[in-house]
Amino acid sequence: MWCVSGIVDAAGGEAAETKRSTRRPWEVDDGLWERIEPLLPQVKHNPRYPGRPRVDDRKALNGILFVLYTGIRWEFLPQELGFGSGMTCWRRLRDWNEAGV
């Protein structure tokens, strides 16, 4: 079996030390998210005022980490990434900070 590095383990897959992570530095993996999620405050929704659907907390956190990692301004966070707007991520960071997270 062939792989880019030329090193193949006994199971026929690429050796662990040569695998490249497809996760970007600002993306939270499942293991870390399981540890973070219980720390975040739960927001109660009022059924009388449904409003716009809330951006998922994990997506908002990824947006916050993207801004911190790249150094871009909040208002320039690309909508195409699916993290919500820069203002949404900034507000979520503010709310979590005020809640003591």
What are the distances in angstroms from CA 49 to CA 34, 46, 63, 87?
A: 30, 6, 26, 21
Q: What is the pLDDT of residues 24-38, one digit of tens each?
A: 888 999 999 999 999
SS3 (DSSP) at 8: strand
pLDDT (0 to 100) of residue 25: 82
SS3 (DSSP) at 14: strand
Of the given ranges (44-53, 54-63, 70-79, 92-101), which has the lowest mean pLDDT? Answer: 44-53
Q: Kindly provide the b/e burial profile for residues 58-77, where b requires at least 16 CB atoms within 10 angstroms of the residue's own CB.
A: bbbbbbbbbbeeeeeebeeb
Burial of 92 (0-12, 13-18, 19+ CB in 10 A): buried
Question: Is the overall model pTM greater than 0.95, yes or no?
Answer: no
